[in-house]
A = this chain, B = another copy of it.
C-alpha cells in the first residue's frame, strides 16, 4: 500500500469535501455542554456497507441499522452521543426508530435509508423526545461548509480528547474522487462509553456488492487491528456511504484496475482513523505498532499480531520499557496458530530504527542502554519475522499504565 499522507490537521479536510455531502453537529441537551447530535446527508441515495459490534449484547440503534442497511443502500446517518441506547429494551428501540423517522421526514427520504447510531452511557433510559426535537431543529442547518464537517466530527465524541477526521482524494478516469471520514473512540478512561464509531463517505461510483466486500476487508485490516482493552462495546459500528457523485465510471468488477486503487485508499483512510483512536487512548503512554511478517498466511500473521498486542504482560513490559522477548513469544504462542519459535527473528525499536533481539529464536547480544533509551519514546515498533512464508499483518496498540488502572477504578457507575 502507498504511504500517501492523509490530510487531517486542517479544518478544511473533512467530510464536506466529498461531493454531495452535507452535515451538521449540534447540542441538544443529552450532554451538559458539548455537541451531542450529528447528521450526515447525501444529496443522492448511496451504496452503503456497514460492520457492527460482535458483542452478543447489541444496542437498539445497531438492531435498527442492521435492518435498514441490509439492502446496502443509505442516504443519511443520524448519531447521538451521551446515551448509548443499550440495555434499554423496547423504549430504546422505539427511540432509535423515532430518530430514523424524524430524520427521514426532515430530509424527505424513506426511513429505511437512515442509519442510526448512539454512543454514551449504557442502561440509561433513552431521551427520545429531546433528540427528536433536536433533529427537527437542526436539519435545516445541514451544510457543506467546512465548519459543518468539524461540528459533526465533534458531536460524536464521548471521552475522546480530540475529533478524529481525515480526507484524501485521488483520480479515477480523470475524475477527482474523495474519501473522507470521522471516528470516535478513546477506550481507556470510561470504557462504558468506549464505543468505536466511524462514518466514512466517498463520492466514488462503485457497485454495492463490491463496496461491501472491500469495506469488510478494509475494516479487518484497520479497526479490527487496534486494541485498547480487549472488550468490544455494545454499540460499535463502521458505516461507509458511496454516492457516485464523482462520476467516475462505475467500478463493477474486481478486475477493473480502479477497484484496487479505490480499495487501497479506503484501507488507508480506515487505518488513519484507527491509529487516531489509539493515539487518543488516555491512561496510555505509548503508541505501539506490532508487525508480523514472513508468515505462512495472512490469518496466521493477523492472529499473532493481535495476540501479542492484546497481551497484558506485553503491555506492562512496554510501559516498563523492557524488551521482554519471553513475554512476546509466550503471547504469540497463545494466538492459537502454529509457528516455530526457532524460526522467529524479533526486532524492537522506535519510529526510525529497529534493534534485533532474537535471531531464529536465540537471544542476540544487543545494546541494552540504546534499547532502554528507545523504549522511553512514545512511538514503539515490535516486529516479528516468522520466516515461514510471505504474508504479513500489522496491529496497533497502547501500553498499560498505572494511570489506566487508576482511571478505570475511580470511574463510578
Contacts and interface: CB of A to CB of B under 8 A. Distances in A.
Chain A binding surface SS class: loop
Nearest to A321: B409
A329 B232 CA distance: 11
A123 interface: yes
A118 interface: no
Size range of the interface on A? 35 or more
Interface string A292-332: 00000000000000000001110011011111111101111
Given A123-B326, A232-B330, A402-B406, 14 more contacts: A56-B334, A56-B338, A57-B330, A122-B330, A191-B313, A191-B330, A192-B324, A192-B327, A230-B312, A231-B327, A234-B330, A316-B409, A322-B409, A405-B405
Most buried by B among A58, A327, A333, A411: A333
A363 B122 CA distance: 11
A401 interface: yes
Interface in A355-413: 361, 363, 400-402, 404-406, 408-413
A87 interface: yes
A339 B58 CA distance: 11
A337 interface: yes
A127 interface: no
A336 interface: yes
A182 B55 CA distance: 39
Interface string A218-258: 00000000000111111000000000000000000000000
A324 B413 contact: yes
Interface string A45-65: 000000000111110000000
A121 interface: yes
